Structures are given as structure tokens and as C-alpha cells.
Amino acid sequence: MTTIENITKCQVTYLFMDVPHFIVAHSVVGICIDIDGKLWFINEAFAQIFGYSRHEFLGMEVAELVYFEL
């Protein structure tokens, strides 16, 4: 018994889901995404702006990046 399934639509959907991630990741504009106040995604431009590596940011509180003047 043989099963044949057309997966073209699945592959196209996956390709288009990956395009926004590629654009954000390679943008020259600093972009970060936080979930519940913790940084979840940081692109390379954002890391360069603040002088950290992308890995140092992961899990960091967004409030740690904000300067409060008293």
C-alpha cells in the first residue's frame, strides 16, 4: 500500500512564515521582542546598539535597558 500526499502547499506556507523572521533578524534597525517583560528575541542591530551580544540579552528584563532619571 502506498500513500501519496502533495506537500507543496505546506512548503510554501513554511517559506512565507520564515520570510518575516529573516527580515527582522537581518534588519539594520534594532528590534527586540519581549514576553512578560523579558527579552525573547533580539536582532543583531539591537545588540550592537546596546553593546551586548544577542545571547547576553536573552531573559534580561526590559526594565534593565531603561534609564530612569531621578
- How do residues 13-70 score in pLDDT, each as one tens digit? 554 456 677 888 888 999 888 888 888 888 999 999 989 888 888 888 988 888 777 7
Q: What pLDDT is recorded for position 7?
A: 53
d(CA 15, CA 34): 24
CA atoms of 50 and 60, how far apart (whole Å): 13
Does residue 16 belong to any structural domain of this protein? Answer: no
Mapped onto helix, strand or coil, the DSSP state of residue 61 is: strand
Long-range CB pairs of 65-68, under 8 A, 24+ apart, other chains included: none
Instruction: Identify whether 53 is part of a domain.
Output: yes
Domain that holds residue 59: 28-70
**Number of domains forming the structure of the chain:** 1
Look at residue 61 and tell me if it is in a domain.
yes
Mean pLDDT of 3-11: 55
Output the pTM of the full model. 0.64
Predicted local distance difference test score (pLDDT) of residue 41: 87
Q: What phi-psi label fits residue 60: left (phi over 0), alpha (psi between -120 and 50 degrees) or beta? A: beta
Residue 5 within a domain: no
The answer to whether residue 22 is domain-embedded is no
